[in-house]
């Protein structure tokens, strides 16, 4: 009888812990929504209905009486793919939901104390251990009499029926202490976010207010035909800057080398952009003199130039616009000079082997052209080739091209994490300053190889995080999955889910 009651009590304790874990998961998901795009790319309106569905999943799976590991696996799968992840249509957000579910739905017996920087597991472990109270029962010395043992046995048998109720009440008080501790101890890192997330949110709100004021200002644009003298002078400076661009001779785009064709097309895109800028600036200069009518397009261009902002019609998607018009034109000039030098490399028998992805108009085609060129040289189908990425030990550019083919890429920076050059792995940021969360990555070797099927035993046992590389460096909160250029496996000492929750990614910058 005593064993039966202990089994019932332990079963009730296990399901109570599962219920708390699901409620804890629901709270974490709801709390991350308050951080907008820092928490999830889209807003998912999880409600009490989802929580009730999750509790039903627990009850149905628990009634099967399966092993604990199998039960937790099935619960995690249904919560990730049906209850909470069923409405998620973004790959990044789905990975975050999966990581949160895996960290919350765990066996409390296996949880250990970890640093607060570990996020969800450390918070759950600290709360579960902090909610326990030491045993206040003390054993009295001396020899126990036979009558005392008999009376103690009788009282134990009489209290068997109420054992489960008392344990449930004790566990309820423990959960209440855990909830009370969460009110003061839960911070942004506990939610899997960066420690500077509240500061970023305040900055975002300030930018939102500024954007609203700017929209309100542009709702009633100035339709006067007389413009300040500074606007005309600024346009003259832009014309002088454009005239300082060197003459570009476009190479032929019918070469057998796919990489050279790509570079020629990239240079052609920048030449077309320069032609558009020259036409628009000349038109704006005529508008300031009253020679042409002010169309809505001309008004928007003049308003952007007068505020030293790059017009949206000039902007490629990945080139940041917060550096001013003159600075932006100089960056375009620098890109064109580098591209022209790369295009001339084949004519001078100096094949370029080191590139910066930030130089390109469409960097995704760069990766495709690299695979196509390797397929042409090796006389194999391009679908049989995959890109192997190797991290070099230094940020310096090698003196010679790779022996086994491929190219080197530079200019990658890690966001929301730091790169540890001594351990050659990613690590948590050492500072809470938002500006310090951009750490330079070493030079990467992009090596096209023939795709092979790798078994589980052949894969590396070291932990790694598949880090996406974006080109949208001007807005790190709205990086879309479609903007991913490539993915790099970065070594790490922590679990990969930690970096998924913190949304660690890399950007290509000059």
Give the mean pLDDT of 306-319.
74
Given a cut of 70, whether residue 478 has pLDDT beyond it is: no
Give the mean pLDDT of 195-200.
70
Give the mean pLDDT of 417-433.
81
Give the mean pLDDT of 22-46.
84
- What pLDDT, on a 0 to 100 scale, did the predictor assign at position 182? 65
pLDDT band at 83 (very low <50, low <70, confident <90, very high): very high
Burial class of 395 by CB neighbour count within 10 A (0 to 12, 13 to 18, 19+)? middle
- What pLDDT, on a 0 to 100 scale, did the predictor assign at position 65? 75
- Which residues are bridge partners to 388 per DSSP? 447
Which of 149-153, 414-418, 504-508 is the least confident region? 149-153
pLDDT band at 221 (very low <50, low <70, confident <90, very high): very low
pLDDT band at 17 (very low <50, low <70, confident <90, very high): confident
Which of 183-187, 257-261, 331-335 is the least confident region? 183-187
- Is the alpha carbon torsion for 275, 278, 279, 280 positive or negative? positive
Given a cut of 70, whether residue 268 has pLDDT beyond it is: yes
Separation between Cα atoms, residue 389 and residue 386, nearest integer Å = 10
- What pLDDT, on a 0 to 100 scale, did the predictor assign at position 127? 59
Which of 256-260, 436-440, 447-451 is the least confident region? 436-440
Which single residue is written with the structure tokens 């080739």? 385
With contact defined as beta carbons under 8 Å apart, do 320 and 470 qualify? no
Burial class of 426 by CB neighbour count within 10 A (0 to 12, 13 to 18, 19+)? buried
- In this prediction, what percent of the chain has a pLDDT beyond 90? 6
Task: Report phi then psi at 412, rounded to 5.
Answer: -90, 135
- What pLDDT, on a 0 to 100 scale, did the predictor assign at position 111? 56
Q: Is 355 helix (H, G, I), strand (E, B) or coil?
A: strand
Task: Report phi then psi at 466, rounded to 5.
Answer: -80, 100
- What pLDDT, on a 0 to 100 scale, did the predictor assign at position 458? 45
With contact defined as beta carbons under 8 Å apart, do 492 and 463 qualify? yes
pTM of the model: 0.70
Give the mean pLDDT of 78-101.
89
Reading the block at residue 13, the tokens are 């304790």
Given a cut of 60, whether residue 228 has pLDDT beyond it is: no
pLDDT band at 216 (very low <50, low <70, confident <90, very high): low
- What pLDDT, on a 0 to 100 scale, did the predictor assign at position 78? 92
Give the mean pLDDT of 381-386.
87
Which single residue is written with the structure tokens 């591209």? 339
pLDDT band at 109 (very low <50, low <70, confident <90, very high): low
- What pLDDT, on a 0 to 100 scale, did the predictor assign at position 162? 53
Give the mean pLDDT of 11-39.
82
What's the chain's average pLDDT? 75
- Is the alpha carbon torsion for 337, 339, 340, 345 positive or negative? positive
Pairing of the two strands 464-470 and 412-415: unpaired
Burial class of 507 by CB neighbour count within 10 A (0 to 12, 13 to 18, 19+)? buried
More confident residue, 213 or 319: 213
- What pLDDT, on a 0 to 100 scale, did the predictor assign at position 226? 43
Give the mean pLDDT of 175-183.
65
- What pLDDT, on a 0 to 100 scale, did the predictor assign at position 105? 85
With contact defined as beta carbons under 8 Å apart, do 370 and 259 qualify? yes
Q: How far is CA 53 from CA 56, 71, 79, 328, 447, in A?
A: 5, 17, 9, 52, 47
With contact defined as beta carbons under 8 Å apart, do 317 and 472 qualify? yes
pLDDT in tens, 52-68: 999 999 888 888 877 88
Given a cut of 70, whether residue 134 has pLDDT beyond it is: no
């Amino acid at each position: 009888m005593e064993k039966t009651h202990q089994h019932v009590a332990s079963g009730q304790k296990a399901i109570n812990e599962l219920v708390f874990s699901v409620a804890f998961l629901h709270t974490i998901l709801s709390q991350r929504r308050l951080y907008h795009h820092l928490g999830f790319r889209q807003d998912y309106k999880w409600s009490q209905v989802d929580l009730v569905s999750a509790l039903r999943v627990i009850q149905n799976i628990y009634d099967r009486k399966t092993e604990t590991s199998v039960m937790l696996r099935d619960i995690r799968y249904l919560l990730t793919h049906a209850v909470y992840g069923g409405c998620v249509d973004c790959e990044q957000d789905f990975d975050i939901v999966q990581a949160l579910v895996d960290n919350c739905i765990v066996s409390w017996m296996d949880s250990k104390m970890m640093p607060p920087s570990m996020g969800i597991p450390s918070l759950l472990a600290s709360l579960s251990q902090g909610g326990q109270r030491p045993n206040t029962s003390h054993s009295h010395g001396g020899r126990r009499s036979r009558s005392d043992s008999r009376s103690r046995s009788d009282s134990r048998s009489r209290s068997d029926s109420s054992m489960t109720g008392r344990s449930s009440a004790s566990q309820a008080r423990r959960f209440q202490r855990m909830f009370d501790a969460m009110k003061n101890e839960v911070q942004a890192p506990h939610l899997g976010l960066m420690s500077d997330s509240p500061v970023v949110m305040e900055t975002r709100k300030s930018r939102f207010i500024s954007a609203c004021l700017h929209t309100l200002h542009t709702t009633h644009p100035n339709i006067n035909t007389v413009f300040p003298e500074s606007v005309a002078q600024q346009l003259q400076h832009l014309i002088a800057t454009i005239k300082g661009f060197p003459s570009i001779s476009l190479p032929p785009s019918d070469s057998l080398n796919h990489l050279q064709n790509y570079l020629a097309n990239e240079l052609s895109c920048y030449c077309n952009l320069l032609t558009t800028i020259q036409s628009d600036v000349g038109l704006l200069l005529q508008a300031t003199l009253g020679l042409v009518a002010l169309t809505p397009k001309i008004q928007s261009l003049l308003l952007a130039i007068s505020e030293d902002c790059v017009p949206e019609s000039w902007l490629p998607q990945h080139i940041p616009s917060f550096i001013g018009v003159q600075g932006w034109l100089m960056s375009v000039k620098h890109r064109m000079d580098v591209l022209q030098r790369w295009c001339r490399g084949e004519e001078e028998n100096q094949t370029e082997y080191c590139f910066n992805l930030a130089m390109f108009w469409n960097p995704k085609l760069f990766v495709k052209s690299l695979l196509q060129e390797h397929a042409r040289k090796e006389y194999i189908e391009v679908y049989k080739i995959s890109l192997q990425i190797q991290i070099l030990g230094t940020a310096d550019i090698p003196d010679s091209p790779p022996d086994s083919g491929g190219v080197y890429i530079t200019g990658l920076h890690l966001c929301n994490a730091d790169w540890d050059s001594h351990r050659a792995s990613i690590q948590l940021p050492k500072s809470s300053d938002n500006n310090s969360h951009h750490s330079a990555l070493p030079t990467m070797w992009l090596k096209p190889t023939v795709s092979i099927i790798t078994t589980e035993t052949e894969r590396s046992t070291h932990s790694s995080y598949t880090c996406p590389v974006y080109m949208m460096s001007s807005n790190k909160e709205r990086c879309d999955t479609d903007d991913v250029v490539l993915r790099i496996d970065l070594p790490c000492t922590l679990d990969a889910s930690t970096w998924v929750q913190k949304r660690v990614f890399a950007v290509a910058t000059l």
